Amino acid sequence: MTKGLAIWEAYREFESAIVEAARPIAGFLSPFDREQTFDSQLEKVHSLFRRQLAIPLYDMEATFAEYEEWSEDPIPESVIQNYNKALQQLERYKPYEEALLQAEAPRLAEYQAYIDFEMKIGDPARVQLIFERALVENCLVPDLWIRYSQYLDRQLKVKDLVLSVHNRAVRNCPWTVALWSRYLLAMERHGVDHRVISVTFEKALSAGFIQATDYVEIWQAYLDYLRRRVDFKQDSSKELEELRSAFSRALEYLKQEVEERFNESGDPSCMIMQNWARIEARLCNNMQKARELWDSIMTKGNAKYANMWLEYYNLERAHGDTQHCRKALHRAVQCTSDYPEHVCEVLLTMERTEGTLEDWDIAVQKTETRLARVNEQRIKAAEKEAALAQQEEEKAEQRKRARAEKKALKKKKKTRGADKRKAEEDDEKEWGDDEEEQPSKRRKVENSTPPAGEAQDLEAETGLFGKSAPVDVDAPSKQKERAAALKRDVPKVPHDSSKDSITVFVSNLPYSMGEPDVKLRPLFEACGEVADIRPIFSNRGDFRGYCYVEFKEEKSALQALQLDRKTVEGRPMFVSPCVDKSKNPDFKVFRYSTALEKHKLFVSGLPFSCTKEELEEICKAHGTVKDIRLVTNRAGKPKGLAYVEYENESQASQAVLKMDGMTIKDNVIKVAISNPPQRKVPEKPEARKAPGGAMVPRQIYGAKSRTAGKEKHESPFALLAC
């Protein structure tokens, strides 16, 4: 709609130029020649105008006016009707086109809405057009390719068009197994040669899927195709041998390649082996091979599941004999742990209808013995669970009592602290009057030892008593200076919650930093005018490693958040918004994504000496590197971990294949698609407050840094299955 006008105008200008070139000689031509040359060319221009006016395009009103001016004859009524119909269509399409013009690339949501609209109308040409427009900006979105190819498979069914789109889809998103499976089906549907399909399947195996189940899915799709090629009316054929060979290769591939890479099979229920057993039993009448396969299935940890035994029993029931059915059910009774009652019932039902009295007695004895043992195990498990529940209740009660005692002790200390501060004020008055007039009082205070409880409280309050701060009886002036330092003018309320929007919380600063407000001010003034910097000190006057920075404007506070993790005196400084978590429990300080990011890699095992530039030099050989983040601890020391962001998922997928297991400075690194484990959220989060009631972000107390949850990945191969 937006660009079609230019194409139509170019076409009309071409045909009009031919008309104008023939006009001077038109009067000299015979009626027959004039009709064959000039008049027929003139009709072509008329035809172009009429065809264009029947299509909804931007600025079509100007085209209609141009046609009225150019045509010597009145415009036919049929053309006007088609033009009005196109105008109505234009009004319906305009909201979608305007949404695309206003949105920023890649405009996926806008294209999806436009596609839904075109699909309802059902014009194949326009549906194909909007899909192609959407894929220009979203060629790495697998769902869009799947929807497009599905429409072509079901609606147009044009071989060249369908296969071309499938081929483009797997080239752009090779890590998506669904696209490869659909490609194989489309090739089979349109009769592509068997060798071409086999080559395509081999390409799919080397595409670099990110989870083990993807390999199982592509193998199942290929095995289904091979099964449909076999004529089972023949006892043996080339296609049947190829099918059996492919089943054997699939099992070996999943064992050797997939399990070693992902640390899991991807096929815990052995579906491929089950399908092979069904084919051998039902289509090849080879129950011996089917039984061998089911024995292998049961040895892979499936013997405890009732549904697996019943599946085997049903296969024997349909294609085997009663003896093997009975044998399978007897084994199921002994091995099943999830639904033993159901298996016992099936065994008794079979013996009731087919077995002898002896078979019935044996079945009853085995089922009763098994169910009695199962009930005994369940009773023990219930008792154990009840005991654990009781222990949890007792622990909860103990924690409740401990909190109550702690609260009472805190209240008692608060009362004693008020009395103690009053006594200290009296002592300070005595010290501050006149040293020479009251030397006896000073010596009494300096040389006396307070009671144990008071000494402990006073040490915690001032640090003047105990081993950490011995009394200097020979230097009373130093004691006066220390006491004066302890009376530092610290605000009782370090932060006003009403100023959250213009304040940032700064943490992970060195405790040894002197005059933090002076040292931090130039750093934050680069973001805007700073109203106040309030460092937080302990009761002993020690800097606690965090502070509040208040700005004049909100935009300055937002800009200050960009200073997060800037190195200050050798440590990464954390800058966070000021948010009261008691009022906003869902607020997260963590700045990095914790979800699966298919375009980003997690690299572990790096040498601590590896720099960002060195890692970038290695990674850019496999694609365009957008960003690299080396992970450090709270002290700024490297942890041997990094995140590498590529331009798209395809490059990241290929980088995993090439870089995983690489050696860097004698260190073997592990590389995986970034997919951190879920961060645990406590059931009842409690707001943590600084002295005076202001909020303190969680990271100030926790033993882990804010990046701890992000870097604690599982095995890289396990992550590829996510």
Give Cβ neighbours of residue 222 (< 8 Å, ≥ 6 apart).
184, 201, 246
Q: Are 639 and 631 in contact (CB under 8 A)?
A: yes
Kind of pairing between the strands at 597-604 and 566-568:
unpaired
What was the pLDDT predicted at 716?
A: 39
Model pTM?
0.57
| Backbone region of residue 692 per phi and psi (left: phi > 0; alpha: psi in -120 to 50; beta: other values) | left
CATH 3.30.70.330 fits 503-577, yes or no: yes
Q: What is the pLDDT of residue 308?
A: 95
Domain 600-673 sits in CATH at 3.30.70.330
Residue 273 burial (C-beta neighbours within 10 Å; 0-12, 13-18, 19+): buried
293 CB contacts (<8 Å, ≥6 apart)? 273, 274, 276, 277, 280
What pLDDT, on the 0 to 100 scale, is given for residue 587?
A: 62
Tell me what pLDDT residue 453 has.
39
Rg (CA), the chain: 40
Annotated domain spans of the chain = 1-100, 503-577, 600-673
Q: What is the mean pLDDT of each run of 10 residues along the chain (722 residues)?
A: 92 89 69 68 91 93 92 91 94 93 92 95 93 95 96 93 96 95 97 96 94 95 96 89 96 92 89 96 94 94 94 94 94 93 95 94 95 92 92 92 89 73 52 40 38 37 35 44 46 70 90 87 91 89 90 91 86 86 61 73 89 88 87 79 87 83 87 74 45 41 39 39 34
Domains 503-577 and 600-673 fall in the same CATH topology: yes
How far CA 145 is from CA of 136, 138, 189, 596, 649, in Å, comes to 11, 9, 18, 21, 15
